[in-house]
Amino acid sequence: MTQTEKFMDSDDDLISSAGLDKKNVKWTLFTRALMPWLAVSSIFILNYFYLVPIYKEIYLVLFLYLALVYTANFFIYRAKDQRTVNDIYFFSTAIVFFLFIIIIHYLGGVEWIGFVFYFSAIVATGLIFTPKRGIFLTATACVLYLGLVIAEYGGIIPHKKPLFFELKPGLYGDFWYVLVTGIIMPLITFVSVGYITSKFSLLLKKEKEKSQHLYRLTKASGDIIINNMADGLLVLDHNNQVIRANSSAKTYLNLLDDYEGKSLSQISKMPINWNMEENIKTVTAGNISRYRIAVGDPPQRILESQITYVKKDDNSVNTIMILRDVSPPWGVVYDSKTKLPVPLAVVRMFNASTDKLLESKVTDQAGRFNFLPGPGNYYLTVTKDNYAFPSADRNFYQGEDFQIMEKGIMVNFKILIDPK
């Protein structure tokens, strides 16, 4: 199963309804990793040039946030599936909320920016995460913010004066302000915005499910087309190991059952002359090459191979081989020891039902012969001085009956005979 398929088949409860994937999470964490540096730089400039008092605790929290983001990035880059990616991103976001509420406290956020944080938290988590996780994180933000408001109002923790401006001195201690702005409005926002984003999240989830279904249908259709191609198809990875073969390729090359993950020289039950094998290792992506391949020794089938090199996102190169049977329309008689063609051998064709001799041919200097009989059952014999037929090599024609179903079919067996 490919990496894409693993992500597509992950648990829907853990996958972002908005289509969050490993690459997007990495980019999001990368941008979040820049924020603390920008914040630290801005605070330093304000403190140095404009003499704005800065709490040292803010620096500590920002560096903790930076460490969290880089740690999350470290594990996400090594995650093997989408489930792990989402879990890391989810828990890191929850910790970010806790760190951010501390920053809000030291910026005097109870009076002005706290609610902005709360609202943005609802929207972001509702769109990025699944409804359940979005509601959980939104509730976490709500509890943290309300806890800060109530703690400052009750004098449990000291109120920090806003760095830039304050709406009204002592506003954090005003009962009606705390009730309306710190409690009622956040709760209303939690219900309304949380409901809307969860519905939108479900809509995105349905669209993603449709895309997954279409992806699977397209993949299944592609598999059917590939497996029914008349031409053979071989796909090799960047290590020149076979990762896929269609039905025609299995027939043409007489592949082993466990051909996957093996090199070209190891995939067939028969010897194959891969006269292009070294070239595959040195080509660059985008080139198309053509080669002739001899299957068997002596050759029982000649294939023409068109090879295309496809460059992947990780810069590795896969090889796609299209195999077409271009075997000549004649049979050949070979010496089983030297594997050379045998000239002047007599090949006879008999009717399998009556044992009647129908036709005789004498092989030429290239050991070639052919017959073009009509429909029926036949068998061949081969005679040559100082040679014996059939050969002890059972991988070649042994004189057994064969059937011709229609006119125009050439008899072109590759036959071995043993020297005496």
In the chain the domains, ranked by start, together with CATH numbers, are: 3-219 (no CATH), 232-325 (3.30.450.20), 331-419 (2.60.40.1120)
* 133 vs 397: which has the higher pLDDT: 397
Q: Above 90 in pLDDT, residue 348?
A: yes
How confident is residue 13, by pLDDT bands cut at 50, 70 and 90?
A: very low
Query: What's the whole-number mean pLDDT along residues 392-418?
Result: 88
Give the range among 10-14, 356-360, 387-391 with minimum mean pLDDT.
10-14
Q: What is the pLDDT of residue 6?
A: 36
Mean pLDDT calculated for residue range 155-176:
64
User: Among the residues of 228-368, which ranges form H helices?
Assistant: 247-253, 277-280
pTM above 0.85, yes or no: no
Q: Read off the pLDDT band of 303 (50, 70, 90).
A: confident
CA distance 61 to 57: 6
Q: So what's the pLDDT on residue 362?
A: 93
Higher pLDDT, residue 371 or 36:
371
Sign of CA dihedral 231, 236, 240, 241: negative
> What's the pLDDT score for residue 35?
66
**Predicted local confidence at residue 376, as pLDDT:** 92
| Residue that wins the pLDDT comparison between 309 and 360 | 360
pLDDT higher than threshold 80 for residue 188:
no
Task: Give me the torsion for CA of 174, 177, 179, 183, rounded to 10°.
Answer: -130
Angle among Cα 369, 371, 376 to the nearest 5 degrees reads 150
User: Which residue in the block uniquely carries the two structure tokens 């090879």?
Assistant: 307
Closest of 382, 388, 389, 271 to residue 331, by C-alpha:
382
Instruction: Please provide the average confidence, as pLDDT, over all residues in the chain.
Output: 75
**CB of 334 closer than 8 Å to CB of 375:** no
Query: Mean of the pLDDT values across residues 343-359?
Result: 94
Task: List the structure tokens of 177.
Answer: 């302000």
Task: Locate 390 and state its tokens.
Answer: 């059939």
